[in-house]
């Protein structure tokens, strides 16, 4: 118990503090190591070594896979089959559209998304999973195919990722679905500025491919609370459109709309058996890792 | 209160500046980059809402400051205390109470009396008041009395009259009462239904400076009123007995705002109901109702009344008229030989209003009695009768009989003949060469020729005159031939008139008798010579009746056309009123609605001759459309008037300055309001605190709790 309390300070690092670290890898290591050390034990580690079934030997099978003990008992050759692969694919799909540039507390959503992606990739790499990365706006910006050796490439791609253009979910996710042939865990990190049913429709093909999909919905506190005071022209970061707004008059309605949007996203994604988590950029990244692990655990049990 | 520099009030426009700043300035501030306007666009967010003003107290304060500044710079000042009705000191009030016929509508007059009573009861000791009852006339019921009881009694005794409304004379009379008043406050209080027809916008009523005009309207916005506004008579030819049949048509106007539907209307003659009908009319329209014909007795008068079922304004629901049989005008034509000119006989036979009763006699047959009886004598190409008949003619003309002379070959005027000719008779002028003479100049303003005064009403110059008698007339020439010779001349002899036509009326010397102008010209000349005036069937109450309307007797003839002196009129309410005779400076003004009976006063011959005058309310009084009292007050100008009282109170410079010092107070108020504005603005512009570290800590704690839960 004492150990847990001692490490708690290291685990829940304010993302603003992480922002001072220059290296993404360092960020990821700080987060993940703190996270792992904080756990008493690691009951969730090594889930890729599960035995699945036996199959009759066929010419060409690797002799190392023959279950000799069984041969001793039955006098027949059987090959031991394990769960698809002992290590899973983790692909982080990060939204780098212009709207991700927003940040009211000094930490833009894009940075928070990068830290989150880096942490997840690093953490999975530690688990000997294959890691890959897709960044997209209205189309795929960069693609690092999942591989056990691609963490560096993925971190490099993350490092270079910049939010700039208008975004869209459906088209790039469909493209990504087509590329990710092997089933794995797909983590979508986006601010999801689309109608909930369109978001669900965009994510669903990934699910149809058999991926386990986790959607992290990134929002800045200002996007939820709308704390603006002065009547101003609000400029859409993506389209550049401007709208004169008196925040005081609209705040309640805006908050209600956002609340309903989040609620609808949760409901629709749950219906599609997609895990959904809302992440506030003021919340430490560990929280996201917990959500990831909890989902991962649950998925393992369902299987 | 007045302003020294009213133009500076334009500064009030500056009040718009804070509003504009409120609405425009706020949106010019910084641009906020926001990830997506997706949610903002969904909010039903109208530009109107965007322009809603948030801080009303602030805006009102700023507007107040600007208004105070603008008014202060316009330099308001209080006029002399004597001019202000709301000032201090004793007060003199002239209460003008409208008693016109329209005030009889519903409870208008009752309300007007109550208003007048409230003014009287509001008088303080030392105040004085006059009561002026007005309609088209003005009656000062109580003059500058301080007695409240006398005023109240006069108000109680007032009744609406059948007269039209005229505001101008009443206001002038009211102001006139106050002009010489020494009281410091003078006020005219006008209590009326403010009927629009009573105000003549161009009449320019002025009251002396310092007299305030206060209005107390008692009318209603929506009214319902139907009125009989006219009666028309269609006469049929007299039968053998001499009586005529007349069809009466009543015109009913709906002056209200709702339709009248099948309203009963009855026609009465001499108090008996002759016929009844029903009438319907849309608002703002008129409808006509014709009754079955009634028979007029020869030489008689019938009092006709069209009576509509009474509505809220009963005055205009009855309409009175006097229907008389057509007058007869005896005309005596004296010729050398009776019947020598068929043109004259035919022209006189076609008369209608009045009817000419022509007698044609040879010169020798003309007797004094015949001459006495005639209203007009025509000497057609014949010398004047000699002897007794001649003297009778001269006497008759002197009394008022008309004389028409047509000069011809046989005309002559001896020295012994009566002096009736308008000039000296000369030789025959022959103009047969060429196209003959034409009438070149005519006095078209003369009653005989005025009917030809308008274009296309008859061409007198079409007649060709080949011969005529020369006449040297020093004066009274009404028409001349193209060579300047006299064609028509007139002369007045005593009360009678003499007209001379210097040619004949037989078609030999001229072709005038063949021209279309001949018959009307002859009729006009006969009517003029007889002094005939058409009697109207009714008279409007409140207007002076002309002597001809009051002429006693309906039997016609020359005697009927002159008003006798010493007549009295019996009003519909039974009062006996003296009727001023002809030539009197006074006029007879009937004020009641109904039939006035004009008869000779007792002891004045008492010949039994009577006349009846039908009097109706002015049809304009039925129109209850209202006038805005403010318009009337604005139109009444403060004229120079009699300013003796106010001139006596010349203001000292200190006093004048004191009255203009109002602007200092306004400026002080503006400064105070500015201070309040600064305070208020400071409070409103304070930003609300933005959620920061505390909230982050709170969320972190929540996340920690969840991670603990998951880990366990």
pLDDT tens per residue, range B67-109: 888 888 887 776 544 444 445 678 889 999 999 999 999 889 9
Q: Label residue B305 by pLDDT band (50, 70, 90).
A: very high
Q: Do A231 and B27 touch (CB under 8 A)?
A: yes
**What pairs with residue B324 in β-bridges?**
B301
Q: Which residue has the higher pLDDT, B708 or B291?
A: B291
The end-to-end CA distance of chain B, in Å, is 87
Distance from CA of A57 to the nearest CA of B (A): 43
A5 touches chain B (CB under 8 A): no
Q: Residue B624: which of B203, B259, B313, B260 has the closest Cα?
A: B313
Q: What is the mean pLDDT of chain A?
A: 79
What's the CA gap between B175 and B645, in Å, rounded? 13
Q: For an interface test with A, which of B35, B685, B689, B696 has the most A Cβ atoms less than 10 Å from its Cβ?
A: B35
**What pairs with residue A133 in β-bridges?**
A92, A144
Distances (CA, A) of B559 to A216, B187, B375, B549: 123, 54, 9, 14
pLDDT, position B659: 66
Q: Do B695 and A14 touch (CB under 8 A)?
A: no
For A217, residues 6+ apart whose C-beta sits below 8 A from its C-beta are A190, A191, A192, A262, A265, A276, A277, A278, A279
Q: For an interface test with A, which of B26, B36, B686 has the most A Cβ atoms less than 10 Å from its Cβ?
A: B36
pLDDT, position B696: 47
Q: Is the pLDDT confidence value at A74 over 80?
A: yes
Q: Do A221 and B36 touch (CB under 8 A)?
A: no
Both tokens of B529, joined, read 């010579």
What's the CA gap between B1 and B388, in Å, rounded? 85
Q: Is the pLDDT confidence value at A42 over 50?
A: no
**Measured between CB atoms, which of B33, B36, B699 is closest to A282?**
B699
pTM (2 decimals)? 0.51
Q: Is the pLDDT confidence value at B29 over 70?
A: no
pLDDT, position B403: 94
Q: Do A258 and B710 touch (CB under 8 A)?
A: no
**Measured between CB atoms, which of B35, B54, B704 is closest to A237?**
B35
Residue with tokens 């709301």: B86
Q: Which residues of A touch B50 (CB under 8 A)?
A: 244, 246, 249
B264-285 pLDDT, tens per residue? 999 998 888 889 999 999 988 9
What's the CA gap between B661 and B76, in Å, rounded? 8
Helix axes A24-38, A151-160, angle to 10 degrees: 120
Q: Residue B491: which of B370, B613, B591, B403 has the closest Cα?
A: B403
Q: Which residues of B touch A290 (CB under 8 A)?
A: 706-707, 710-711
Q: What are phi and psi of B134, to 5 degrees?
A: -140, 155
Q: What is the mean pLDDT of chain B?
A: 81
Residues B360, B390 contacting (CB under 8 angstroms): no
For A283, residues 6+ apart whose C-beta sits below 8 A from its C-beta are A15, B699, B700, B703
Give the mean pLDDT of B584-593. 82
Residues B81, B95 contacting (CB under 8 angstroms): no
Q: Which residues of B touch A237 (CB under 8 A)?
A: 33-36
For B694, residues 6+ apart whose C-beta sits below 8 A from its C-beta are none
Q: Which residues of A touch B24 (CB under 8 A)?
A: none
- Give the DSSP H/E element, type plus range, for residue B612: strand B610-616
Q: Which residues of B touch A236 (CB under 8 A)?
A: 34-37
Please state which of the ranges A36-50, A157-171, A280-294 shows the lowest mean pLDDT: A36-50
pLDDT, position B211: 86
Burial of B188 (0-12, 13-18, 19+ CB in 10 A): buried
Indicate the DSSP class of residue B165: -
A236 touches chain B (CB under 8 A): yes
Q: Which residues of B touch A14 (CB under 8 A)?
A: 696, 700
Q: Chain B residue with minimal CA distance to A257?
A: B39
CB pairs under 8 A between A and B: 123
Q: Label residue B1 by pLDDT band (50, 70, 90).
A: low
Distance from CA of B701 to the nearest CA of A (A): 9
Q: Do B26 and A257 touch (CB under 8 A)?
A: no
DSSP 3-state of B527: helix
Distance from CA of B59 to the nearest CA of A (A): 17
Give the mean pLDDT of A52-63. 83
Q: Which residues of B touch A231 (CB under 8 A)?
A: 26-27, 29
Q: Is the pLDDT confidence value at A37 over 60?
A: no
Q: Which residues of B touch A286 (CB under 8 A)?
A: 703, 707
Residues A83, A93 contacting (CB under 8 angstroms): no
Distance from CA of B66 to the nearest CA of A (A): 26
Distance from CA of B24 to the nearest CA of A (A): 11
For A123, residues 6+ apart whose C-beta sits below 8 A from its C-beta are A28, A31, A32, A35, A36, A289, A292
Q: For an interface test with A, which of B39, B686, B704 has the most A Cβ atoms less than 10 Å from its Cβ?
A: B39
User: Residue by residue, what is the 3-state secondary structure of B37-61?
Assistant: CHHHHHCCCCHHHHCCCCCHHHHHH
B475-508 pLDDT, tens per residue? 899 999 988 999 999 999 999 999 999 999 988 8
What's the CA gap between B477 and A199, in Å, rounded? 114
A260-285 pLDDT, tens per residue? 999 999 999 989 888 888 888 887 77
Q: How many CA atoms lie within 13 A of B169 on its CB side?
A: 13
Q: Which residue has the higher pLDDT, A217 or B301?
A: A217
DSSP 3-state of B547: helix
Q: Label residue A48 by pLDDT band (50, 70, 90).
A: very low
Helix axes A196-208, A247-271, angle to 10 degrees: 30
Q: Is the pLDDT confidence value at A46 over 50?
A: no
A62 touches chain B (CB under 8 A): no
Q: How many CA atoms lie within 13 A of B81 on its CB side?
A: 14
What's the CA gap between B500 and B477, in Å, rounded? 9
Q: Is the pLDDT confidence value at B304 over 80?
A: yes
| ipTM of model | 0.76
Q: Label residue B196 by pLDDT band (50, 70, 90).
A: confident
Interface of B with A (CB under 8 A): 26-27, 29-43, 45, 49-50, 52, 54, 687-688, 690-691, 695-696, 699-700, 703-704, 706-707, 710-711
């Amino acid at each position: 118990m004492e150990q847990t309390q001692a490490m708690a300070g290291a685990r829940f690092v304010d993302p603003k503090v992480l922002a001072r670290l220059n290296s993404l890898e360092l960020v990821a290591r700080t987060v993940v190591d703190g996270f792992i050390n904080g756990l008493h034990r690691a009951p969730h580690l090594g889930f890729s070594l599960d035995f699945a079934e036996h199959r009759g030997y066929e010419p060409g099978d690797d002799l190392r896979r023959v279950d000799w003990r069984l041969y001793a008992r039955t006098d027949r050759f059987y090959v031991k089959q394990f769960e698809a692969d002992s290590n899973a694919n983790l692909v982080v799909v990060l939204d780098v559209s212009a709207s991700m540039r927003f940040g009211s507390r000094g930490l833009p959503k894009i940075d928070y998304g990068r830290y989150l992606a880096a942490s997840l990739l690093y953490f999975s790499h530690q688990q000997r999973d294959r890691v890959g990365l897709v960044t997209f706006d209205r189309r795929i910006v960069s693609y690092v195919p999942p591989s056990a050796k691609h963490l560096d490439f993925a971190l490099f791609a993350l490092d270079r990722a910049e939010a700039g253009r208008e975004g869209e979910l459906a088209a790039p996710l469909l493209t990504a679905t087509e590329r990710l042939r092997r089933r794995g865990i797909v983590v979508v990190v986006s601010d999801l500025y689309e109608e909930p049913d369109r978001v669900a429709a965009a994510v669903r093909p990934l699910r149809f491919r058999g991926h386990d999909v986790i959607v992290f919905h990134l929002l800045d506190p200002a996007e939820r609370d709308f704390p603006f005071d002065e009547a101003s022209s609000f400029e859409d970061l993506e389209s550049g459109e401007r709208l004169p707004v008196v925040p005081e008059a609209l705040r309640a309605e805006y908050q209600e709309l956002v609340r309903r949007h989040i609620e609808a996203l949760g409901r629709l994604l749950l219906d599609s058996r997609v895990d959904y988590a809302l992440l506030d950029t003021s919340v430490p990244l560990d929280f996201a890792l917990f959500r990831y692990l909890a989902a991962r655990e649950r998925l393992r049990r369902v299987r | 209160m007045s302003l020294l520099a009213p133009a500076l009030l334009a500064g009030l426009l500056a009040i718009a500046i804070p509003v504009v700043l409120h609405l425009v300035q706020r949106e010019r501030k910084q641009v906020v980059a926001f990830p997506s306007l997706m949610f903002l666009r969904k909010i039903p967010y109208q530009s109107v809402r965007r322009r809603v003003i948030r801080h009303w107290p602030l805006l009102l304060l700023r507007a107040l400051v600007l208004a105070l500044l603008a008014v202060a710079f316009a330099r308001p000042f209080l006029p002399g205390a004597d001019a202000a009705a709301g000032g201090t000191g004793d007060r003199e009030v002239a209460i003008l109470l409208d008693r016109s016929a329209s005030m009889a509508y519903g409870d208008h007059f009752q309300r007007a009396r109550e208003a007048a009573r409230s003014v009287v009861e509001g008088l303080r000791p030392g105040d004085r008041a006059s009561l002026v009852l007005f309609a088209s006339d003005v009656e000062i019921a109580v003059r500058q009395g301080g007695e409240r009881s006398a005023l109240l009694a006069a108000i109680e005794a007032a009744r609406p009259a059948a007269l039209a409304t005229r505001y101008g004379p009443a206001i002038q009379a009211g102001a006139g009462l106050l002009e010489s008043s020494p009281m410091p406050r003078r006020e005219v209080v006008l209590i009326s239904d403010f009927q629009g027809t009573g105000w003549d916008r161009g009449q320019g009523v002025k009251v002396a400076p310092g007299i305030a005009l206060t209005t107390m309207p008692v009318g209603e916005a929506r009214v319902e009123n139907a009125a009989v506004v006219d009666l028309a008579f269609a006469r049929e030819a007299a039968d053998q007995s001499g009586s005529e049949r007349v069809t009466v048509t009543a015109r009913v106007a709906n002056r209200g705002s709702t339709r009248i539907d099948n309203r009963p209307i009855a026609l009465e003659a001499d108090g008996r109901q002759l016929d009844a009908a029903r009438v319907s009319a849309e608002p703002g329209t008129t409808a006509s109702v014709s009754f079955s014909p009634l028979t007029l007795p020869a030489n008689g008068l019938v009092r006709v009344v069209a009576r509509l079922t009474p509505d809220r304004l009963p005055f205009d629901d009855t309409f009175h008229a006097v229907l008389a049989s057509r007058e007869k005008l005896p005309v005596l034509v004296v010729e050398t030989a009776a019947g020598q000119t068929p043109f004259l006989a035919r022209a006189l036979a076609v008369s209608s209003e009045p009817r000419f009763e022509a007698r044609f006699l040879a010169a020798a047959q003309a007797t004094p009695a015949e001459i006495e009886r005639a209203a007009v004598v025509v000497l057609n190409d014949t010398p004047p009768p000699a002897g007794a008949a001649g003297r009778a003619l001269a006497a008759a003309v002197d009394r008022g009989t008309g004389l028409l002379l047509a000069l011809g070959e046989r005309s002559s005027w001896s020295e012994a003949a009566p002096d009736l000719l308008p000039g000296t008779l000369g030789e025959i002028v022959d103009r047969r060469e060429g196209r003959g003479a034409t009438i070149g100049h005519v006095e078209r303003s003369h009653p005989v020729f005025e009917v030809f005064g308008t274009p296309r009403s008859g061409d007198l110059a079409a007649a060709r005159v080949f011969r005529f008698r020369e006449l040297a007339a020093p004066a009274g020439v009404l028409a001349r031939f193209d060579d300047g010779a006299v064609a028509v001349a007139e002369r007045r002899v005593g009360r009678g008139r003499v007209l001379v036509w210097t040619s004949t009326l037989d078609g030999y010397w001229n072709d005038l008798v063949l021209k279309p102008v001949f018959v009307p010209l002859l009729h006009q000349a006969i009517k003029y010579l007889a002094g005939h005036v058409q009697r109207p069937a009714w008279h409007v109450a409140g207007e002076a009746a002309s002597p001809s309307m009051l002429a006693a007797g309906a039997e016609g003839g020359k005697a009927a056309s002159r008003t006798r002196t010493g007549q009295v009129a019996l009003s519909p309410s039974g009062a006996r009123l003296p009727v001023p005779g002809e030539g009197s400076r006074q006029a007879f003004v009937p004020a009641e609605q109904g039939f006035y009976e004009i008869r000779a006063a007792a002891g004045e011959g008492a010949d039994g001759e009577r006349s009846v005058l039908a009097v109706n309310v002015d049809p304009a009084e039925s129109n209850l459309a209202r006038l805005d009292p403010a318009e009337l007050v604005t139109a009444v100008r403060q004229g120079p008037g009699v300013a003796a009282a106010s001139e006596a109170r010349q203001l000292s410079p200190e006093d004048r300055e004191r009255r203009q010092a109002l602007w200092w107070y306004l400026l002080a108020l503006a400064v105070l309001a500015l201070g309040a504005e600064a305070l208020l603005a400071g409070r409103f512009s304070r930003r609300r605190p933005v959620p920061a570290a505390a909230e982050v800590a709170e969320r972190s704690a929540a996340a920690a709790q969840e991670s603990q839960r998951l880990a366990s």
